[in-house]
Structure 1
Amino acid sequence: MSRIARWRLLAAGLALSLFVVACGPTVEEQAGREGQPDGGEAQSGDVEPARSIDGAGATFPAPLYSEVFSALAEQEGIQVNYQSIGSGGGIEQFTNRTVDFGASDAPMTDEQIQQAGGDVLHVATVGGAVVPTYNLPGVEELNLTGEVLADIFLGNVTRWNDPAIAELNPDADLPDEPIQVVHRSDGSGTTFIFVEYLSAVSEEWADEVGSGTEVAWPTGSGASGNEGVAAQVSQTPYSIGYNELAYATENDIPYARLADDPEGPFVEANIDTASAAIAAAEVPDDLRVSISGLNVTEGPEGQEAYPITGLTWLLIRQEMDDLATCKAVAQAAWFATHEGQEFAPPDYVPIGGRTLEIGEEFIRSMEAQGQPCYEE
């Protein structure tokens, strides 16, 4: 059974678990939070981490999180009930405090942070590429420029043998068939990464559509989650969509190479080219960066960089009400950014350097009931 298939089975169970939680007390009032004193001020050393916490959000890192949280439960005894519902849903549930942490491939805006209470920390867990996946019978390799890709999703280029595509693929037998565009129907960080790039390379896209976890798509049909888009592209001849790279490789879906202009070079998405894009980006102190919006095509020392690349984050609160819950969230975040990195599939970029150091500072700063949540 593939990693994606195992995750789907796990996600079904987690969704039921989260439904049961929603019918009961609020997250931090649930029974079973062991170790908290009955009264008085909590002492950090006397309180054990909660045995179960809830999270929701991004599908981009879901295959990784299923492995990481399984290992966390086995090694540390902390069960993480993670529901892969998309970054938009994760931000909403985090803001509404129906989960203990959120997860997103799109950094929260200043307005969203204010709505969530103002003490949100973004802890980067992994990086990766988003690729234009396609189903084009008889065509094994496809080259596109950013401008042509934007025109396809704008509905300006509507057939596979359009001269704009043919110029970039002179050796391909492009069919005279309409392009079936597939996009996300849910609030999505993968969408954010993708449309940030389209906004960077196409003035028309920036002016008419813009960016965000949800946009008003000019054309195409929607599917829910990375897995939904991957399935629809796989099942629909002459289609094009976009997916996190791991979903494309796991499902054996071809994906296009990208270039700034028709002369190339055309860059293929892989861990090296995605790593180069991340390394070339200037990461701010709050870790909220849109790498694809920078359209990075050249990394350190002239390395080819794949531009549609981004980070994904755990969304945590610097201050929480319940010490046991806070300890468990802090431990889960630390595990994901340290021991959990070994579970990252080949298509994900591990976190390191300054990005990791800032994340460590964030986790160490977490507090509840006047006590630190993370213990070295």
Structure 2
Amino acid sequence: MIGYQFFLQKVLTATAVTVTVGFGSISGAIAQSLTGGGATFPEPLYRRYFREYQEETTDVKLKYSAIGSGGGIRRFLNQSVDFGASNVIPTPVERNSMKRGLLMVPTAGGSLAVVYNLQGITTDVKLSRDTLGKIFSGQISNWKQVNSRLPNRKIQVVVHSGSSGTSFIFTKYLNEITNGRIRASRKPNWGFKVFSSVPGNGPVASEVKRIDGAIGYVPASYAKQLNLPMARLENQAGRYVKPTVDQANKALANVQFNDDFTIENIDDPEE
């Protein structure tokens, strides 16, 4: 599962500025502080960008609040931030409501991981496409149903609350591998009672780490920070792979951008 990050920048204040180039084209007439908010997916990368930029200059103060993709779009709409970040493209209605204009620039790409917590299990857990879809639709509720060698332990599903770009990316993938049985949504209706619903990638990762038997979905970077096991997922070729940098690069290698910097679907790699 691949997520692509977009940076929403007010055209009237700083055209063509992206976080990847360190705000290098901001004119001297611009206010000496920039406030942003949005997706938690790229937050670790943004923190590094801002830190490196401010090691070179103290002229511009930068602040970013990781409040989720939906929150970033809402704050950009009500003009309470200078920029926002989202894992999903604003809808036509949202775009038409952005009175001061909109410029979208891709700033980060990465993979989502299905993370789990099974105390006493040291081998990798493999999840077929069918099994993954059934876990997140409530049809499989015990780890013994996943593999007879796994413990007889209830699966505790942890999901994102609120309007989440991470949820959209994940459910879009589930939609594809379940032939449309699970609908892609920023705020999914899972159709069953999940164990826990918490806001943001960090809290989801922490909740999975806290609960024996838990399963959830977060960017691979968050899984690595907490040393969470990442499931091996079945790809189109029937191989079971982890969301490594190499696998993410395979998926992103053939991305083509539209004129407005949006992208079409990123296909699941066959290998």
- With normalisation by structure 2, the TM-score equals 0.83
Selected match of 1:296 from 262, 268, 271: 268
Task: Give the gaps of 5 or more residues in structure 1.
Answer: 1-26, 28-43, 299-303, 305-376
Name the CA distance, whole Å, in 1 between partners of 2:27 and 2:144. Answer: 68
Q: Which residue of 2 is the match for residue 81 of structure 1?
A: 63
Name the CA distance, whole Å, in 1 between partners of 2:255 and 2:232. Answer: 21
Name the CA distance, whole Å, in 2 between partners of 1:187 and 1:245. Answer: 20
RMSD of equivalent CA atoms = 2.3
Selected match of 1:212 from 168, 171, 185: 185
Selected match of 1:141 from 118, 124, 143: 124
- The answer to whether the Cα contact below 8 Å between 1:52 and 1:79 also exists between their aligned partners in 2 is yes
Q: Which residue of 1 is the match for residue 31 of structure 2?
A: 50
Q: Which residue of 2 is the match for residue 266 of structure 1?
A: 240
- The answer to whether the Cα contact below 8 Å between 1:86 and 1:189 also exists between their aligned partners in 2 is yes
Q: Which residue of 2 is the match for residue 64 of structure 1?
A: 45
Q: Secondary structure of 1:193's match?
A: helix
- The answer to whether the Cα contact below 8 Å between 2:69 and 2:85 also exists between their aligned partners in 1 is yes
Aligned amino acid, residue 141 of structure 1: D
Name the CA distance, whole Å, in 2 between partners of 1:145 and 1:296. Answer: 14
- The structural deviation recorded for 1:49 is 3.4
The alignment status of 1:157 with 2:157, answered yes or no, reads no
- The structural deviation recorded for 1:45 is 11
Q: Secondary structure of 2:152's match?
A: coil
Name the CA distance, whole Å, in 2 between partners of 1:146 and 1:287. Answer: 31
Selected match of 1:186 from 144, 152, 162: 162
The alignment status of 1:132 with 2:108, answered yes or no, reads no
Per-residue CA deviation, residues 303-360 of structure 1 (Å, 9 max, x unaligned), is: x3xxxxxxxxxxxxxxxxxxxxxxxxxxxxxxxxxxxxxxxxxxxxxxxxxxxxxxxx
Aligned amino acid, residue 154 of structure 1: S
Selected match of 2:231 from 238, 249, 256: 256
Query: What is the aligned residue count?
Result: 244
Per-residue CA deviation, residues 88-129 of structure 1 (Å, 9 max, x unaligned), is: 100100011110111111121222211223832211111000
Q: Which residue of 2 is the match for residue 242 of structure 1?
A: 217
- The answer to whether the Cα contact below 8 Å between 2:163 and 2:187 also exists between their aligned partners in 1 is yes
Q: Secondary structure of 2:103's match?
A: strand
| Structure holding more strand per residue | 2
- The answer to whether the Cα contact below 8 Å between 1:143 and 1:258 also exists between their aligned partners in 2 is yes
Q: Secondary structure of 1:280's match?
A: coil
Task: Give the gaps of 5 or more residues in structure 2.
Answer: 1-9, 11-24
Q: Which residue of 2 is the match for residue 95 of structure 1?
A: 77
Q: Secondary structure of 1:182's match?
A: strand
- The structural deviation recorded for 1:290 is 5.9
Per-residue CA deviation, residues 254-293 of structure 1 (Å, 9 max, x unaligned), is: 01111147x82112111111011011344323232364xx
Pick the structure with greater CA Rg.
1
- The structural deviation recorded for 1:225 is 0.6
Give the % identical residues. 36
Name the CA distance, whole Å, in 1 between partners of 2:70 and 2:198. Answer: 15
- The answer to whether the Cα contact below 8 Å between 1:160 and 1:178 also exists between their aligned partners in 2 is yes
Q: Secondary structure of 2:136's match?
A: helix
- The structural deviation recorded for 1:226 is 0.4
Aligned amino acid, residue 244 of structure 1: P
Q: 1:48 and 1:204, CA in 2 relative to 1: closer, same or farther beyond 3 A?
A: closer
Name the CA distance, whole Å, in 2 between partners of 1:54 and 1:189. Answer: 20
- The answer to whether the Cα contact below 8 Å between 2:73 and 2:84 also exists between their aligned partners in 1 is yes
Q: 1:45 and 1:222, CA in 2 relative to 1: closer, same or farther beyond 3 A?
A: closer
Name the CA distance, whole Å, in 2 between partners of 1:113 and 1:103. Answer: 14
Name the CA distance, whole Å, in 2 between partners of 1:46 and 1:159. Answer: 58
Selected match of 1:225 from 188, 200, 206: 200
- The structural deviation recorded for 1:295 is 4.2
- The structural deviation recorded for 1:200 is 0.9
Q: Secondary structure of 2:240's match?
A: coil
Name the CA distance, whole Å, in 2 between partners of 1:187 and 1:290. Answer: 22
1:327-342 map, 5 Å: none
Q: 1:78 and 1:135, CA in 2 relative to 1: closer, same or farther beyond 3 A?
A: same
- The answer to whether the Cα contact below 8 Å between 2:68 and 2:165 also exists between their aligned partners in 1 is yes
Q: Which residue of 2 is the match for residue 276 of structure 1?
A: 250
